[in-house]
A and B are shown apart, each in its own frame.
Chain A
Amino acid sequence: MLTVALSKGRLLEPTVDFLRRAGIEVPEDILSSRRLLAPDSTGSYKFLLVKPTDLPTYVEYGVAAAGICGRDVLLEVTPDLHQPLDLGFGRCTLVLAGKGGGRKENHNLLSTTRVATKYPRITERFFRSRGLPAEVIYLSGSVELAPNLGLAETIMDLVETGRTLRENGLVVLEEVAESTARVVVNRASFHIQQAEVQEFLRRLRKVLE
């Protein structure tokens, strides 16, 4: 039996859809979050429902052999995992955003900037690679409020349609990375459960073809 971790939240529904097309049924109890750990009806898979940012940890420790999570999470957590498949759905862009008014052109000129984000490590790396000193403020939610409240000049956040940004009077200053749903596999499980892992990947690949 292969233990597969799934991300709660925005990716859950499209993930379950995708798995269904691959002939893998995620039990209703998982979908409704009534249970966080449940086998499928065939007994081939066991699903584990976890917070997106925790998912790489479960897979890295081998508690789950594989998982499906956004690339944004992988860029932030930088786990030591195999990433064999890009499933293509859940497309989002990680952007640096701020209030409008001419900043778009010259955000590089700010001497020290404060950035609010759910992605402190990506943000830190981004500013340091540009040679810009930045104060990174970690928030676990409602990041888009920060510029209007004066907490930070800019935010680094994941954007799907851009509506939330517009509603808060923010504009995209720079697109930093693209994110889609990725399959991750534990390095040991890849070999120890080789046949099961390959079968899982084969089913998913078939949907992509």
Chain B
Amino acid sequence: MIPQGVQCYFGEEVNRRRKVESILAAIMKNWGFDEIILPFFDYVESFSYGLGSELGDKAYRFLDKDGSLLALRPDLTTLVGKTVATRMRGQPLPIQLFYSGEVFRQERAGAGKQKESYQIGLELMGVGEPHADIEILLVAIDCLLHLGVKEFKIALGHVGFFNGIVQQLNLSEEKAGALRDAIDHKDTAWLKSQVEDLQLSDDKKRFLIDVPNLAGGREILELALGIVENPRSRQALLDLRKTAEVLNALGLSDFLTFDLAEVRGLDYYTGIVFKIYGHSLGFEMGGGGRYDGLLGRFGWDLPAVGFSFTLDRILPLLADVTGLQVPLHEAEPHEIATSSGDLTGFFRQAWELRQQGLRVRLGGV
């Protein structure tokens, strides 16, 4: 008898997992990220900000000898944020870290969810939008291309788009929550019933009911820009547009799709949010976003953005990994200052150097 949802690997499966892990680690290093090894547990309250009640409730909790309440890590980003804010304060920016390890959540196992799952991810701290946002999307794409995954989509949204609308309408938290749920499930029937009693023009109501359908190529950004007036939503759309332009210039736009109804995710997200979907996999294999408020909670207010892959969900997409090469890297990375040239020019230069196998990291801001 074993507890439901625990994992155990041996034989060829172990080689396969370790190989993929080492490839991802090597790529992240080449993009200028250093590895961090994190603790398995921390105080419950360290996780409580940002994880929200949903994930907070899923943590395995236990008591320390002195009576303090501890939790097995349900999330790694929080631990990176806490470590950076408390132990690395004052170090030159940006701070770029990657990690791998298990997270533990009390989930109903199934549909890709496990109680114990293995994540590989990274965090880029100290660089604001849009440079850092684009940078981490590019790392994610580079990782999957190296692994030979050709068919995938990054569904990109921005919480500022929805929050701007909520703010402008001055909605109660309860009402905003109901709207968010309806939009998240693209449940137009329910959304319609929620929007009916709002003090809005019919045009605006129709637009709000149509938000779940604002998914697709760049044209949906233009469509939304033609309608929303509040500055927060507009800024979010303009940031997404810049991201689209850069990825387009690099010939990577096939991997990107926009979803303005991408409003869920962890409570700590403040900017872009995204999920990465693969062909013939019913659930996302990774995801991430911007969380500018998290580090401030631990004493060093830094903008930050990151993502993680769930290893167990990437593996089914890969055929034979024995032929895959672990990228080599040089000891010292080339630095390119983010202030040099225009956004597209900067990323084109960095992408080309990286495609030659060079180790490149973002320079100071």
A161-196 contacts to B, CB under 8 A, are: 182, 185-192, 194
Least Cβ–Cβ distance between A16 and chain B, in angstroms: 22
Binds B, one of A25-33, A56-64, A104-112: A56-64
Question: Please, how many angstroms separate the alpha-carbon atoms of A82 and B212 in the complex?
Answer: 9
Q: Across the interface, do B216 and A60 meet the contact criterion of CB distance under 8 Å?
A: no
Main secondary structure of the interface of A (DSSP, over half): mixed
- Looking at the complex, which one of B215, B278, B281 makes contact with A190 (CB distance below 8 Å)? B215
Residue of A nearest to B153 (CB): A191
Q: Cβ of B281 and Cβ of A62 under 8 Å apart?
A: yes
Instruction: Tell whether A83 is near chain B: CB-to-CB under 8 Å.
Output: yes
Q: Is the CB of A62 within 8 A of B283?
A: yes
Residue interface mask B135-155, A partner, CB < 8 A = 1: 000000000000000011101
Q: Which residue of A has the minimal Cβ distance to B280? A: A62
The answer on a CB contact under 8 Å between B277 and A192 is yes
The answer, yes or no, to whether B279 is at the interface (CB within 8 Å) is: yes
Known interface pairs A188-B277, A190-B215, A194-B216; A86-B188 also in contact (CB < 8 Å): yes
Report if B17 contacts A (CB, 8 A).
Answer: no
Contact for B282 among A84, A182, A186, A194, CB less than 8 A = A186
Check B185 for interface membership: any CB of A closer than 8 A: yes
* One of A57, A80, A84, A186 near B187 (C-beta < 8 A): A84
Question: Which residues in A have their C-beta under 8 angstroms from that of B153?
Answer: 191-192, 194
Q: How far is the CA of A195 from the CA of B295 in the complex (A)?
A: 40
The answer to whether A84 touches B215, judged by C-beta atoms less than 8 angstroms apart, is no
Q: Look across to chain B and name the residue whose beta carbon is closest to the beta carbon of A61.
A: B282
Q: Total interface residues on A, using CB and 8 Å?
A: 25
The smallest C-beta distance from A179 to any residue of chain B, in angstroms, reads 12
CA distance A79 to B259 in the complex (A): 20
Pair A188/B215 contact, Cβ less than 8 Å: no
Task: With both chains docked as a complex, state the minimum distance between the C-beta of B89 and any C-beta of chain A, in angstroms.
Answer: 39
Whether the pair B215, A86 counts as a contact (CB closer than 8 A) is no
Contact A80 B186, beta carbon cutoff 8 Å: no
Tell yes or no: B189 within 8 A of A by CB: yes
On chain A, the residues within 8 Å of B155 by CB distance are 191
Q: Which residues 274-293 of B have a CB within 8 angstroms of A? A: 275, 277-284
Chain B residues near A63: list those with CB within 8 A. 282
How large, as a class, is the contact surface on chain B?
20 to 34
Bound Cα distance A65, B126 (Å): 40
Among B187, B215, B282: residue with most chain A CB under 10 A: B282
Measured between beta carbons, the chain A residues less than 8 angstroms from B283 are 60, 62, 187-188
**Bound complex: CA of A66 vs CA of B323, how far in Å?**
36
Q: Once the chains are docked, how many angstroms separate the CA of A190 from the CA of B215? A: 9
Residues in A whose Cβ lies below 8 Å from that of B331: none
A51-90 vs B, Cβ < 8 Å mask (1 yes, 0 no): 0000001011111000000000000000111111110000
Contact indicator A188/B278 (Cβ below 8 Å)? yes
B189 and A86 contacting across the interface, CB-CB below 8 Å? yes
Q: How far is the CB of B249 from chain A (nearest CB, A)?
A: 22
Mask, B239-281, CB within 8 Å of A = 1, is: 0000000000000000001010000000000000001011111
B111 close to A (CB within 8 Å): yes
The answer to whether B185 and A81 have CB atoms under 8 Å apart is: yes
CA distance A84 to B261 in the complex (A): 12
Residue in chain A with minimal CB distance to B216: A194
**Pairwise interchain contact A85-B215, C-beta atoms closer than 8 A:** no
Q: Judging by beta carbons under 8 Å apart, are B282 and A191 in contact?
A: no
When the two chains form their complex, are residues B188 and A187 in contact, meaning their CB atoms are under 8 A apart? no
Q: Which 3 residue pairs are nearest across A and B when measured between Cβ atoms?
A: A62-B282, A86-B189, A82-B186
Interface residues, chain B, with chain A CB atoms under 8 Å away: 111-112, 151-153, 155, 185-190, 212-213, 215-216, 257, 259, 275, 277-284
29 contacts between A and B (CB under 8 A): A59-B282, A60-B111, A60-B283, A61-B111, A62-B282, A62-B283, A81-B185, A82-B186, A82-B212, A83-B185, A83-B190, A84-B213, A85-B188, A85-B189, A86-B188, A86-B189, A187-B275, A187-B283, A188-B277, A188-B278, A190-B186, A190-B215, A191-B155, A191-B215, A191-B277, A192-B153, A194-B216, A194-B257, A198-B216
